[in-house]
Chain A
Amino acid sequence: MKELLDDLDRWRTAGNRVALARVVDVEGSGPRGPGAAMAVSLEGEVVGSVSGGCVEGAVVTEALSLLHGEREPGIVTFGYSDDEAFAVGLTCGGTIRLFIEEFNW
């Protein structure tokens, strides 16, 4: 999250609403460990990354639906063992879990 701090500060100062997604768990092969993070502003600006580019697009969708009040904060899972509706996986075959929340604390 360290690399996001400047952008998070900038957005907060500007009064922009921001969603924060952090990797909390990796099973099997995963490109980035717990703590890897990305942030998405309501305006659609994106900083940081949580995988090797495999799931970032889907994370933006989740982040925006959180900011639009269409989903609650919580865990999002990506990977082959995912039995939820996400069609996105990791090319390396692992599973990652992200925690998505609004950055308003």
Chain B
Amino acid sequence: MTLSNRLSERVRSGDPVALATVIEGEGVGNHLLIIPGEESDGSLGHPDLDRVVHRDGLAELEAGRSGIRTYGPEGQTTPEDLEGTPTVRVFVESWAPPPQMWIFGAVDFTAALARVAKILGYRVLVCDAREIFATGRRFPMADEVRVTWPSPVFDERGETLGPRDAVCILTHDPKFDVPAVQGALATRVGYIGVMGSRTTHERRLERLAEAGITSNHDLERLMSPIGLDLGARTPEETAISICAEIIANRTGRTASRLRTGSGPIHP
């Protein structure tokens, strides 16, 4: 199997992989394929360089980052070692597993949100305890549909959620959304959005307080009411408003119009 076959197999199946390529210096066009838990494949031109790039590549992959790193021809990295040596510049490209979006509540908005999330590259899980609503036929775009309460899903794999992931709670039903919020707050998930009007939000805060969720740190993590103020009406427009909020949270931007601002558009 060629290096690119192995790479495309990993990328297609969503398994983590990084590709290191010499882009400048000795051995331009050499490749090294880096897979967690496996020997690296290919060579950049020197076994010591391969070993160091393999180590660095795993770290880049863990962080989901891609970028250029500079080494000596035998993998030297410290400024003293690099002085007076010809350098090799290596581009490490990471393919981290897709971010996850968990959507609680199998409602009209769910299908639209799942569709937009798929466009953005999320692996989408839809969860609702009501068997007649949570079906693969209603949500063919979802990667997984679960008929269950939120707690078992969080117990089972809440620890797989991280800063790149999102939990969107669209149920409006206290029986369901309180445990979903509790479950989400116990994870490292980057975005927690909870749907409902401002009145619903106030009532939900009371129920969350009864369930013992009162700390500011926790409550500040809740994006509720969910989404940006776009004046969205339809499920599809609402889905855009939710995803736009997820992007703005990640980038730390205020999400106002570009024409009213100044400075670089792509920071």
Residues on A with C-beta less than 8 A from B4 are 8, 103, 105
CB of B24 closer than 8 Å to a CB of A: yes
Stretch at the interface among A25-33, A40-48, A56-64: A25-33
Could you tell me if B23 and A99 are in contact, using CB atoms closer than 8 angstroms?
yes
Could you tell me if A35 and B31 are in contact, using CB atoms closer than 8 angstroms?
no
Residues on A with C-beta less than 8 A from B177 are none
Residues on A with C-beta less than 8 A from B93 are 1, 22, 34-35
Could you tell me if A72 and B28 are in contact, using CB atoms closer than 8 angstroms?
yes
Could you tell me if A105 and B3 are in contact, using CB atoms closer than 8 angstroms?
yes
Residues of B in contact, count (CB < 8 Å): 23
Q: What 1/0 mask marks residues of chain B from 86 to 98 whose CB sits below 8 Å from any chain A CB?
A: 0000010111000
Using known A-B contacts A1-B11, A5-B11, A35-B66, determine if residue A92 contacts B29 with beta carbons closer than 8 Å.
no
Chain A's interface size range is 20 to 34
Of the residues B12, B23, B95, contact of A75 by C-beta under 8 Å: B23
Max chain A C-beta neighbours (<10 A), residue from B2, B91, B264: B91
**Which residue of chain B has its CB nearest to the CB of A26?**
B266
Residues on B with C-beta less than 8 A from A102 are 29
Instruction: Give 23 A-B contacts (CB < 8 Å), ordered by A residue.
Output: A5-B8, A22-B91, A22-B93, A24-B23, A24-B67, A24-B91, A25-B67, A28-B264, A29-B265, A31-B266, A33-B66, A34-B91, A72-B28, A74-B23, A74-B24, A75-B24, A92-B265, A94-B266, A99-B23, A99-B91, A102-B29, A105-B3, A105-B42
